[in-house]
Amino acid sequence: MKTSDILNKTVKTLSDPDSYQALFHNHRDGDPFPSENELARIIEITRSILFPGYYGASQVNSVNMSFHMGIALEELGSKLSRQIAAGLCFSGDDATDCSKRGKELAWKFIEKLPSLRQILATDVRATYNGDPAAINMGEVICCYPDIKAITNYRIAHELLLLGVPIIPRMITEQAHSETGIDIHPGATIGSYFCIDHGTGVVIGATSIIGNNVKLYQGVTLGAKSFPLDENGNPIKGIARHPIIEDDVIIYSNSSILGRITIGKGAVIGGNIWITEDIPAGTKVLQKK
Amino acid sequence: MKTSDILNKTVKTLSDPDSYQALFHNHRDGDPFPSENELARIIEITRSILFPGYYGASQVNSVNMSFHMGIALEELGSKLSRQIAAGLCFSGDDATDCSKRGKELAWKFIEKLPSLRQILATDVRATYNGDPAAINMGEVICCYPDIKAITNYRIAHELLLLGVPIIPRMITEQAHSETGIDIHPGATIGSYFCIDHGTGVVIGATSIIGNNVKLYQGVTLGAKSFPLDENGNPIKGIARHPIIEDDVIIYSNSSILGRITIGKGAVIGGNIWITEDIPAGTKVLQKK
Amino acid sequence: MKTSDILNKTVKTLSDPDSYQALFHNHRDGDPFPSENELARIIEITRSILFPGYYGASQVNSVNMSFHMGIALEELGSKLSRQIAAGLCFSGDDATDCSKRGKELAWKFIEKLPSLRQILATDVRATYNGDPAAINMGEVICCYPDIKAITNYRIAHELLLLGVPIIPRMITEQAHSETGIDIHPGATIGSYFCIDHGTGVVIGATSIIGNNVKLYQGVTLGAKSFPLDENGNPIKGIARHPIIEDDVIIYSNSSILGRITIGKGAVIGGNIWITEDIPAGTKVLQKK
Amino acid sequence: MKTSDILNKTVKTLSDPDSYQALFHNHRDGDPFPSENELARIIEITRSILFPGYYGASQVNSVNMSFHMGIALEELGSKLSRQIAAGLCFSGDDATDCSKRGKELAWKFIEKLPSLRQILATDVRATYNGDPAAINMGEVICCYPDIKAITNYRIAHELLLLGVPIIPRMITEQAHSETGIDIHPGATIGSYFCIDHGTGVVIGATSIIGNNVKLYQGVTLGAKSFPLDENGNPIKGIARHPIIEDDVIIYSNSSILGRITIGKGAVIGGNIWITEDIPAGTKVLQKK
Amino acid sequence: MKTSDILNKTVKTLSDPDSYQALFHNHRDGDPFPSENELARIIEITRSILFPGYYGASQVNSVNMSFHMGIALEELGSKLSRQIAAGLCFSGDDATDCSKRGKELAWKFIEKLPSLRQILATDVRATYNGDPAAINMGEVICCYPDIKAITNYRIAHELLLLGVPIIPRMITEQAHSETGIDIHPGATIGSYFCIDHGTGVVIGATSIIGNNVKLYQGVTLGAKSFPLDENGNPIKGIARHPIIEDDVIIYSNSSILGRITIGKGAVIGGNIWITEDIPAGTKVLQKK
Amino acid sequence: MKTSDILNKTVKTLSDPDSYQALFHNHRDGDPFPSENELARIIEITRSILFPGYYGASQVNSVNMSFHMGIALEELGSKLSRQIAAGLCFSGDDATDCSKRGKELAWKFIEKLPSLRQILATDVRATYNGDPAAINMGEVICCYPDIKAITNYRIAHELLLLGVPIIPRMITEQAHSETGIDIHPGATIGSYFCIDHGTGVVIGATSIIGNNVKLYQGVTLGAKSFPLDENGNPIKGIARHPIIEDDVIIYSNSSILGRITIGKGAVIGGNIWITEDIPAGTKVLQKK
């Protein structure tokens, strides 16, 4: 068959509604669509706001700080409004409402930035304290993948609390791709959180993590199984991931599964599979 | 030593054939060379064809669908022809043949796109059904790393079946880098395939996976050992990875090693190391 | 509250020194700052020098090799000088000294490139020999993530030996993000090193690895615990990671923890947790 | 004065409304603004539609022509809608109306493209016939500045007839910058129009040019003087530029000024200054 | 001759000092060099400062004006410092001095911006009043080439007064290329200056132009001849271009040559060649 | 009519061969097409070769000169080969021949670069000597538009002599757009050529210019009329532009028309129209 014939035949097949069905997203004219590139830029701007001098324009100083904050917040407000609107449209809301509501929610998010910065400062400190190889706080902010993943998570979690659809998940998936750390935006995580190395960490959607918790690479906070409805489909929205209380440490490649509780101050060794509650203060070690 | 002396001395050493040897690829004049950037663009175009409206131009609709398909297929045909030709040249084929053959194979691949889309639709559905946190099919297509990794794999596998060298492996390695999921293009995988979270998954070159199989993060389908030839080098091309039959689930961080069979409907718990056949329907649980 | 009021209020809060504190890096005027993009470009250039024809300009041949080496080394010298200077400034050195010292160290590094190329040639050979799926050396150089990660590590390690701060860590973290392989630049690694698949591998800062060692995905060479000083902070700089002697193989997802020694020729099975010395020649297998 | 003091003082002065006054354009929130870059892209797309194969994708052929036209028209419709809306907003119209009306007018313009192509075909032919140095029609389309300037003019003129503000002038000024040919979008120009070399040509807003007219470089069709109103300001909108009838040739650097008529078939020599009617068929020569 | 032989032979010839001589600029290591791209960006930034809302970020308003001015002035200070330093180095000054002096002069220039804006406001008004086709001031600022050329001239002239070498000429040549209007930065030009159409206008280095002067396209204010020194070379730095007093109008393509004076309120017709003083109030018309 | 109807109707009309006819260039599959961007890059590279340190990498010095020349010539060879091939294909030559012949001619051109540099050195000197405002040779090379236009002309002329179609004209038209100086690549021009200011200069295809000639802005060397063949079409290829002998000066806006000779050392004043031979040594002045 000639190339032009293959072209025409394949165009025809692929343009047939029977072929694309659920794999096609039919936009209403002019609706914005969530954009990976725009979200990546939003994260960049937010990092430049939260960690001035480490990200964004390097010449920021105490004299010109407010100019830089002003311009960055304005750009963030504009881009985030549009992405939130895109998320709302994606979920089927009316386009005019999306645009108006996108703007409202973006500026509600912006109001949270000072407190976001406060809690991230505790994560940076915990990471620095937890690694004998860390030279200074600056190295932690610039190089450590957990700070990148936790920053994206904390941004995404705020957006999820504001009711923004899909965008939060896209933001945490970008960190997942960059760091190998997969934190669902729905998880609840306290202050002074730190993850060492991080590749392979999974934190499920209904996990609850207290303050001063430390995880190592490969740790899973997962679901054990999920109840099915009468049609055999998983029931959505049930609490199915663990509760990790304050001051817990979980070593590499261990899995904590199901709605169980790891009590305050417990230490879980590496390569361990846990599906039941662990009392506070317990040390669970690898069997030999 | 002065900078200019270091420069001249180092240029001389590094330009000496004794230094570069096997680390140097000597192109014939004008041969194309496989390009990471071009392959990334090829994947983008293919995603826009398979999932219209989710990837590529967002304003696609039922009226203009055929224009978009036409242009995308044409660009794909042109770029893929060149990359396949580059792969053939890389393997030492004659340059004129490479170019002609590259074009033929690219259009053979394009003919497969409708069936590729069909099987990917089953993977999307399996992923959606398998995650209580998934809100809708659109979220799965846009955010879930397994869909990205499986799409790249299915593209690469078709190219490998057509006899294209090196390009398939580059395509799956791009997904490996993006998602942490390492599927060898040589593996054979059925429909309704799904991988949850995915970081650390390894699926070896001679693996065979049935329909409706689900893997979790960190699962390895690997080789146990490989026989050496008389010179002590591994013998290439021997079937050495597992066969996973239909409806199997394998939980996180488990390793299935060697040419063994995991029987239909078996469930393998997490953190488990398996090197022998598992009968159909068996549940293998983590020892405590 | 109106958008403009939120803007002004948030600018004010975020520009207040009480808010930014340790999360702000106050540059001295004109100091260079380490740049992710420039480092990525430095790695690209260095790959084009080490593996001519595989990376960089594809038309390089034995006639024009010295032109390409000359231009690439010159660009490397210029960009690396500036990034090293940025690293020195970041650590608080005087800016004029940084610039002068950056240039000296960059050219000292350049002098090491021929020997860097030599040792990388052994890693390529080990990777090729170790994988029955590898078709040829070219495929290994172009596609295999361990070659990318080991190249970055070997570059970073040389820079660390020259006393360059922060830049080495940024270079290995780029490979970590790209490949999921996390090698600390402080580790010492012999020739003929190879890592199969690689996602999730962690090699700690004080690890010592001999020649001809092979690791699989998910292997951790980590610390067991770290002694605290009188204030309860980890004591920095203590040797706390394992010594892996020549000819050792460690299978997937195993963890080797603490300043222990895995003796020459030992084989460690998968999913195993080791915290004590293993004698030379021992095979440690997964318990059933 | 210190740099930071100059910065703060100058920011304050320049942000004072007394300073910026009429030089400041105060946007309503979210209004689009005319964009030089977008207009340049619009011209590119339109050229690719009018002259397929010469501009835009080079691989266009009779098989895929309709795909290329479809995509190009769609992109043109979308971008032009937005720029027309920006022009309407610029002139003070209500933003919601602008957007709706921008779309209507853009698609009205698109309906004119087939006739625009027809008349441009006559300009190309006239230019080819008029230059002994022209090798073929393709060279004329690709290289001759008058074709660029006349294309922009004909596009701009159609937009002006549709009532679009400011955008038409921006489009002809882009051609003015590129070619040195300044045609006001308000001028009326017949078919088979050609300008040789072109630098310095000026064609005023109320000029009327018949069919088969040829101008050389440096020709001005200008106003002689303009009547003032009672306040001493020029009265806008009066016909004040010449009428050039069919088959006229005007040689280089001549100026035709005022609402006069150059009769059918007249030939005006170079470097001549004309402010009165010239009868049909006259030859006006440079005095010696 | 083989390609590789031509390559080697030509490299050798072109690298021979006898070949390059005065066409080679030998940089001292690390000296900045004047950059066309950076200067174009400097003009863009300056336009965004002088005409906020018309150039630069379109969302500027009275609330965020000072943020935008702050960031723009800071970027301008930084980029202009470097380009001025490059200009000083180009002229052979010592590199360390260049850098320090570049910064001083850049900030001296920045202090002049408010008065630059004031005088440009008069040019905009004069252009608007002088063209019956102009719809509003915004159209003049966005579209009229004379405003672009005069803005570049006024910027360049300030830099020249500050003693900056080469950079001013590069800035006016950029406007020359964009608009066909060639104003030497050394000329002195009063307020309410306007040039209609503009292509081909030349204003020489020692010209002096009063207030409220209007020129049309193709007007030359040039030198008549220049005295030679004893070696037959032109003597540099002699006043050799005309003085144009207030309220003069010069119509298209006329040339005013030599150090003569065109008296206040004179009107010079088009296509005229003038080499002697013209008394105030005279009307000089084209001979028939 | 609905937007989608307009779209479909217009696509149909514009895709009809009756509509596009001579305005469509039907490529043979895979033929290269002349590219404005590639030609602009070719000029950039050539400038960096001819004027090292002024254009291209600023850090070139006598140590690394040959590396820079080597890489630049190689890139030039590759890009120019492709553009020449595109020109040959454009003119209808066979595609395989085009590619081979493109390479041959590109390297023939490269052999001429040393002599091109020699003659351009005389033009730079003539321009420097001819302008009292010129500070040094560097300023002339970097800023003066005539050097840009003459460089493009000399490159284009060499390519035309080698028989390359269309590409030479595209190269001189780029300079025409940038500088307003329109030199046909077919003209013959001696050494020590200089054009002051330059906007509006036209030099026709069969002009012959001796050594040490100086032109001012707006000068035309044009055709007076062109004989028609029996069909009323201009006869192509006849010598129809002037011969300008050595040491001639022509002042601004004068036109020299027809195959006449301006004798050695003649001086032509400004705004003059000449259609007959001028004897050597004559001064022709503007009549009053």
pLDDT, tens digit (0-9, with 9 covering 90-100), for B129-168 = 988 888 889 999 999 999 999 999 999 999 999 999 999 9
Query: In which residue are the tokens 């250039």 written?
Result: C45
Highest mean pLDDT among B177-191, D21-35, D133-147, E48-62: B177-191
Model confidence band, residue D152 (pLDDT cutoffs 50, 70, 90): very high
ipTM: 0.93
Structure tokens belonging to residue B206: 């001679």
Dihedral of CA E70/E71/E72/E73: which sign?
Answer: positive
Helices B65-90, D65-90: crossing angle, 10 deg rounding = 120
Chain C hits for F45, CB-CB cut-off 8 Å, are none
* Residues 15-74 in D contacting B (C-alpha not used; CB under 8 Å): 59, 64, 66-68, 70-71, 74
3-state secondary structure C37-70: HHHHHHHHHHHHHHCECCECCCCCCCCCHHHHHH
Chain E hits for A66, CB-CB cut-off 8 Å, are 67, 70
* Selected residue with higher pLDDT from E44 and F132: E44
User: Amino acid identity, residue C68?
Assistant: H
Please tell me what DSSP assigns to residue B55.
B
The strand pairing partners of F74, in sequence order, are none
User: Residue E84 and residue E105: Cα distance in Å, rounded?
Assistant: 8
Q: What is the pLDDT of residue A288?
A: 52
Chain D hits for E121, CB-CB cut-off 8 Å, are 21-23
Kindly state the helix (H) or strand (E) to which residue D267 belongs, with its residue range.
Answer: strand D267-268
Q: What is the pLDDT of residue A61?
A: 85
Q: What is the pLDDT of residue F114?
A: 96
Asked if residue B288 has pLDDT above 60, the reply is no
Residues in chain E: 288
User: Amino acid identity, residue F180?
Assistant: G
Asked if residue E225 has pLDDT above 80, the reply is no
> C113–B10: do the CB atoms touch at under 8 Å?
yes
Tens of pLDDT, residues A94-136: 777 888 999 999 999 999 999 999 999 999 999 999 888 888 8
Please tell me what DSSP assigns to residue B270.
S
E166 touches chain A (CB under 8 A): no
Q: What is the pLDDT of residue D287?
A: 64
Tens of pLDDT, residues F77-125: 999 999 999 999 988 877 778 889 999 999 999 999 999 999 999 999 9
User: Residue B92 and residue A208: Cα distance in Å, rounded?
Assistant: 56
Q: How many A-B residue pairs are in contact by the CB < 8 A criterion?
A: 159
Chain E hits for D6, CB-CB cut-off 8 Å, are 107, 110-111
CA nearest to A11 within chain D: D67
Task: Compute the radius of gyration of chain C from its Cα atoms.
Answer: 22
One digit per residue, the tens of pLDDT, for chain C of length 288 reads 788 899 999 999 999 998 888 788 877 766 788 999 999 999 999 999 999 999 987 678 888 899 999 999 999 999 999 999 999 998 887 777 888 999 999 999 999 999 999 999 999 999 999 888 888 899 999 999 999 999 999 999 999 999 999 999 999 999 999 999 999 999 999 999 999 999 999 999 999 999 999 999 999 999 987 777 777 777 777 899 999 999 999 999 999 999 999 999 999 998 899 999 999 999 998 765
Q: Across all residues in chain F, what is the average pLDDT? A: 92
Q: What is the pLDDT of residue C85?
A: 94
User: Residue E80 and residue E74: Cα distance in Å, rounded?
Assistant: 10
Contacts of D246 (CB under 8 A, 6+ apart): D190, D210, D211, D212, D213, D264, D265
Pairing, β F243-244 against β A243-244: unpaired
Model confidence band, residue E197 (pLDDT cutoffs 50, 70, 90): very high
CA nearest to F72 within chain C: C67
User: Residue D26 and residue D40: Cα distance in Å, rounded?
Assistant: 24
> B58–A27: do the CB atoms touch at under 8 Å?
yes
Neighbours of chain E (3+ CB pairs under 8 A): A, C, D, F
Q: What is the pLDDT of residue B23?
A: 85
Residues D7-42: b if buried by 16+ CB within 10 A, e if exposed: bbebbebbbeeebbeebbbebeeebbbbbeebbeeb
Asked if residue E70 has pLDDT above 70, the reply is yes
Count the Cβ atoms, other than its own, within 10 Å of residue A280: 14
Kindly state the helix (H) or strand (E) to which residue D262 belongs, with its residue range.
Answer: strand D261-262
Chain C hits for F59, CB-CB cut-off 8 Å, are 74, 78
Q: What is the pLDDT of residue C4?
A: 87
pLDDT (average), residues D198-209: 97
Q: Considering CB atoms only, which of F9, F90, F200 is closest to D138?
A: F90
Query: In which residue are the tokens 């993943």 written?
Result: A149
Contacts of B92 (CB under 8 A, 6+ apart): none
Model confidence band, residue B284 (pLDDT cutoffs 50, 70, 90): very high
The strand pairing partners of B195, in sequence order, are B215
Most C CBs within 10 Å: which of F61, F62, F68, F71, as the mutation test of the C interface?
A: F71
Chain A hits for B131, CB-CB cut-off 8 Å, are 234
**Ordered DSSP codes for C249-266:** EE-TT-EEESS-EE-TT-
Q: What is the pLDDT of residue F4?
A: 87
Side-chain half-sphere CA neighbours of D61 within 13 A? 11
Contacts of B187 (CB under 8 A, 6+ apart): B153, B157, B203, B204, B205, B206, B207, B208, B209, B221, B241
Percent of chain D with pLDDT over 70: 97
How large is the greatest C-alpha to C-alpha distance in chain C, in angstroms?
Answer: 73
Q: What is the pLDDT of residue A32?
A: 82
Contacts of E2 (CB under 8 A, 6+ apart): none
Count the Cβ atoms, other than its own, within 10 Å of residue C96: 10
Asked if residue B97 has pLDDT above 90, the reply is no
User: Amino acid identity, residue F263?
Assistant: G
Tens of pLDDT, residues A228-278: 777 777 777 789 999 999 999 999 999 999 999 999 999 999 889 999 999
User: Residue A269 and residue A265: Cα distance in Å, rounded?
Assistant: 13
Å between C169 CA and nearest CA of chain B? 19
**Closest of D169, A281, F122 to residue E143, by C-alpha:** D169
Q: Are F90 and F33 in contact (CB under 8 A)?
A: yes
Model confidence band, residue A198 (pLDDT cutoffs 50, 70, 90): very high
pLDDT (average), residues F178-203: 97
Å between C279 CA and nearest CA of chain F? 54
Pairing, β C255-257 against β C273-274: parallel
Q: How many D-F residue pairs are in contact by the CB < 8 A criterion?
A: 159
pLDDT (average), residues A38-65: 91
pTM score above 0.95: no
Q: Are B190 and B210 in contact (CB under 8 A)?
A: yes
Q: Considering CB atoms only, which of E25, E27, E169 is closest to F143?
A: E169
Å between D179 CA and nearest CA of chain E? 9
Q: How many B-D residue pairs are in contact by the CB < 8 A criterion?
A: 25
Q: Considering CB atoms only, which of C4, C63, C67 is closest to E63?
A: C4
Task: Compute the radius of gyration of chain B from its Cα atoms.
Answer: 22
Structure tokens belonging to residue F165: 């179609």
Burial class of residue C29 in the structure, from the number of CB atoms within 10 Å of its CB (0-12 exposed, 13-18 middle, 19+ buried) = exposed
CA nearest to B69 within chain D: D67
Q: Are D249 and F233 in contact (CB under 8 A)?
A: no
Asked if residue D286 has pLDDT above 90, the reply is no
Q: Across all residues in chain E, what is the average pLDDT? A: 92
Q: What is the pLDDT of residue C80?
A: 97
Q: What is the pLDDT of residue C228?
A: 75
User: Amino acid identity, residue D285?
Assistant: L
pLDDT (average), residues D262-268: 97
pLDDT (average), residues F243-248: 98
Chain C hits for F67, CB-CB cut-off 8 Å, are 66-67, 70-71, 74
Tens of pLDDT, residues E138-189: 999 999 999 999 999 999 999 999 999 999 999 999 999 999 999 999 999 9
User: Amino acid identity, residue B264?
Assistant: K
CA nearest to C3 within chain E: E63
CA nearest to E25 within chain F: F53
User: Residue A265 and residue A276: Cα distance in Å, rounded?
Assistant: 16
CA nearest to F226 within chain D: D132
Q: What is the pLDDT of residue C1?
A: 73
> E7–F70: do the CB atoms touch at under 8 Å?
yes
> A23–B129: do the CB atoms touch at under 8 Å?
no
> F78–C68: do the CB atoms touch at under 8 Å?
no
Q: Considering CB atoms only, which of C6, C22, C166 is closest to A111?
A: C6
Most A CBs within 10 Å: which of E45, E68, E71, E76, as the mutation test of the A interface?
A: E71
User: Amino acid identity, residue E41?
Assistant: R
Q: What is the pLDDT of residue D288?
A: 52
Chain D hits for A64, CB-CB cut-off 8 Å, are 4, 7
Q: Considering CB atoms only, which of A59, A64, A74 is closest to E70?
A: A64
Asked if residue B252 has pLDDT above 80, the reply is yes
Q: What is the pLDDT of residue C26?
A: 79
Neighbours of chain F (3+ CB pairs under 8 A): B, C, D, E
Q: Considering CB atoms only, which of C69, C107, C178 is closest to B6?
A: C107
Q: What is the pLDDT of residue E231?
A: 77
Percent of chain A with pLDDT over 70: 97
Å between F102 CA and nearest CA of chain C? 18
Chain B hits for F11, CB-CB cut-off 8 Å, are 67
Classified as helix, coil or strand, C123 is helix
Query: What distances in angstroms separate CA C139 from CA A238, C54, C128, C134, F86, one per listed residue?
Result: 47, 10, 9, 7, 34
Q: Considering CB atoms only, which of B59, B67, B78 is closest to D67?
A: B67
> B3–C107: do the CB atoms touch at under 8 Å?
yes
Q: Considering CB atoms only, which of A113, A197, A200 is closest to C14?
A: A113
Model confidence band, residue D86 (pLDDT cutoffs 50, 70, 90): very high
Å between F62 CA and nearest CA of chain D? 38
Residues in chain B: 288
For chain A, count helices (H), then strands (E): 9, 14
